[in-house]
Amino acid sequence: MQEFQSKLPNVGTTIFTVMSALANQHQAINLSQGFPDFPSDPNLIDRVYHYMKTGLNQYAPMPGVGLLREAIANKINRLYGIRPDKEAEITVTAGATQAIFTAIATVVRPGDEVIVFEPAYDSYVPGIEVCGGTAIPYLLKAPHYRVDWEAVEAMITPATRAILINTPHNPTGTILENSDLKALEALVAKYKLWVISDEVYEHLIYDGAVHESVLCYPELYRRSFVAFSFGKTFHNTGWKLGYVVAPPLLTGEFRKVHQFNVFTCNTPIQYALADYLQEPSHYEQLSAFYQQKRDYFLEAMSGSGLRPFTCKGTYFQLFDYSGVSDEPDTDFAKTLTTRFGVAAIPVSAFYSSGLDEKVIRLCFAKKTETLREAAALLKKV
C-alpha cells in the first residue's frame, strides 16, 4: 500500500482551538477567538425562523438567492458608489473563509507564488499550499505594520500569480489607505497579477477613517476577488455566510469551483438577510458601536503593564507585553489563561516563521461587563 503523504504536513490544531480549549478548561474569559459574546438582533433571528416556517428550506440557487444578491448590490452602491451586477458579479458563500479558499483555488496553480502580508489570518497559507502554490510572506513589523510597496515589488518574480490582502487587518487592526491601494493597483497592472482582498471587517473602522475597498479602484477591481462576511457584521459568526464580488470573467471561474465546493448556502438565512439589509442602519452604526467598545476597553486597561498599539479597524486590540514578561508570546498567552483568567492569542501564530515580537491579540467584541472583568484581571499581570 502506498504511504499517505499529507498535503499540509506542517499544519496542526490551530492556536484558536488550543486557546479556546484552555480557556474552557480554566474557566477563563475568552478574548482569544474573534466572536461576540452578545446576541444577534432578535429581529434577524425572527426573519430566519419566518422563512423556515414558510418552507424555504431546500437548495437555494448556486450563486445565492437573487433577492439577497440584489440587496448586496444596493448596499455596495450605497457605500461605494458602484453597483455590481447581481447576476454576473456577486456570489453568496459559506462564510468568508470558504470564499477566500475558493478564490485561491480559482487562480492558483501548482508552482505559483502568492504574496501574503504577515501576520496573516491562518487560513491563507494552507489554502495556497493545498492548491500547489507557495506563499511568499511580506513581514509587517510592530508597532505600525505598514507596507513598503517598493519592497513588495522587489519580491515579485515570474512565478508570482497573486497578492492576498486584508483590510481592515486581522490581527493588527491596521487599515490600507488610498496610497496603498494606488500602489497595489500599479503593481497589479504592471505585472498582470490577481488580487484576493479580504474585507470582512469593512464596517469596523474607527476615528473617522473610511474603508478603502478594492471595489472603488476600477483597474484594481478588474483583477480582483473581494470577500465579505455577514457573520462579522451581524454578530452571528456561526451562521457562516458571506459573499464574493468579482468581475464577470472571474466570477464565472469562481463559480466553477464554488459549485463543486459547497454548491449553495443556507437558504432561510439568505432570505432573512435580504430583508435585513433593507435597513442600512443595521450596518452603518457598527463603526460607532465597536469604537465605543474599543475605547472602553482601552480606558479600562489604563495603567496596565500591557502597552496598546493603535487599532484603526477590526474588533481586535494588540498589546506589547515586553514590559511585564520575557516569556515567548505563546507561553505568555497560556500564562494569562491559566494564572490570570483571560485567554489571548499570541501574534507569532500569524507568522509562518513564528516571529515573536512579544505581542498578543485580544478581542473586544464583548459585553461591557466582560471587558470590565477582563481588564481588571489583566491589570494584575
Measured between alpha carbons, how far is 81 from 374 in angstroms, rounded to an integer? 41
Residues in the chain: 381
pLDDT at position 10 is 84
Q: CA of 265: how far to CAs of 65, 73, 95, in Å?
A: 9, 18, 9
pLDDT at position 14 is 85
Strands 194-198 and 345-346: unpaired
Q: Under CATH, which architecture does the 58-281 domain have?
A: 3-Layer(aba) Sandwich (3.40)
pLDDT at position 2 is 76
User: Which residues of the chain does CATH 3.90.1150.10 include?
Assistant: 15-40+284-378
pLDDT at position 21 is 93
- Measured from the Cβ of residue 67, the count of other Cβ atoms closer than 10 Å reads 15
- The dotted CATH code for 15-40+284-378 is 3.90.1150.10
pLDDT at position 12 is 80
pLDDT at position 1 is 60
Give me the residues of the chain with pLDDT under 70, please: 1
Question: Vertex 167, ends 37 and 236: CA angle to 5°?
Answer: 25
Please, where are the H alpha helices in 108-217?
Answer: 124-130, 149-155, 178-191
Beta strands in the chain (DSSP E): 29-30, 90-93, 113-118, 134-139, 160-166, 194-198, 224-229, 242-245, 307-308, 316-320, 342-343, 345-346, 359-363
User: Which residues of the chain does CATH 3.40.640.10 include?
Assistant: 58-281
Predicted TM-score (pTM) of this structure = 0.96
